[in-house]
Amino acid sequence: MGSMEGILITVRTSKQGAAMEKGKFSEEYRREIASLTLNPDDFARLQLGEEKRALLKSSAGEVEVICRAAEGPQGIFFLPLGAVANELLDEETHGTGVPDFKGIPVRIAAIAQDKEENYDDHS
């Protein structure tokens, strides 16, 4: 099981927008906002378990995410903006009114043992 440091960028996804119409408590929405997209080489290096779960940590907090590989730069991770990503955000805005939603230093580590699904921790 591997781990690595990188930069987190929060995004919006079209799947998130579509799932929102089914409700923010729908399984589809909750799964999408906990889905982290990363480069295929990074994905392989993490040696993720069957459920592709990983722990993502920032200076503000930590969350469990489900990883998926997609074309993109190495060391940059993408997570939809939502209740899961919010745990990783610092409320400091540096006088701009906007917290750092993008460019957040994070550490990701594969979760050794596959767990039961439990999104309630992040709702």
Partner 1 sequence: MRHLKRYSALAKGLYTPEGRKDRKVVVIDVRPSPTSKNADIFLQVTPGADFEIVHVLRLLIAGKRLEGLEEESLVGGVAFRQWQELAELMKACRYGVVMFGIGLTQSRGKDLNAEELNSLIIELNAFTRFYAVAMRGHGNVNGSNQVLAWQTGYPLAVNFQRGYPRFNPGEFSVVDMLRRKEADAALIIATDPSAHLPQSAVNYLKSIPTIYLEPHENATTTWANVVIPVAPAGIGAGGTFYRMDNIPLQLKKLVDFAVPSDLEALQGIKEEVLRLKRGEAAC
**Counting contacts by CB under 8 A, is residue 45 touching partner 1?**
no
Query: What is d(CA 29, CA 19) in angstroms, rounded to the nearest whole number?
Result: 5
**Counting contacts by CB under 8 A, is residue 76 touching partner 1?**
yes
CB atoms within 10 A of CB 94: 9
By CB under 8 A, name the one of 59, 96, 113, 118 that touches partner 1.
96
Specify the residue, 30 or 52, whose C-beta has the smaller distance to partner 1.
Answer: 30
Q: Quick one: which segment of 42-50, 70-78, 110-118 binds partner 1 (CB under 8 A)?
A: 70-78
Q: Which of 75, 77, 72 is nearest to 35 (CA)?
A: 77
**Counting contacts by CB under 8 A, is residue 94 touching partner 1?**
yes
C-alpha dist (Å) from residue 108 to 16, 25, 53, 112, 115: 22, 26, 10, 12, 17
Positions that interact with partner 1 (CB under 8 A) = 7, 9-10, 12, 23-25, 60-61, 70-73, 76, 78, 81-83, 86-87, 89-103, 123
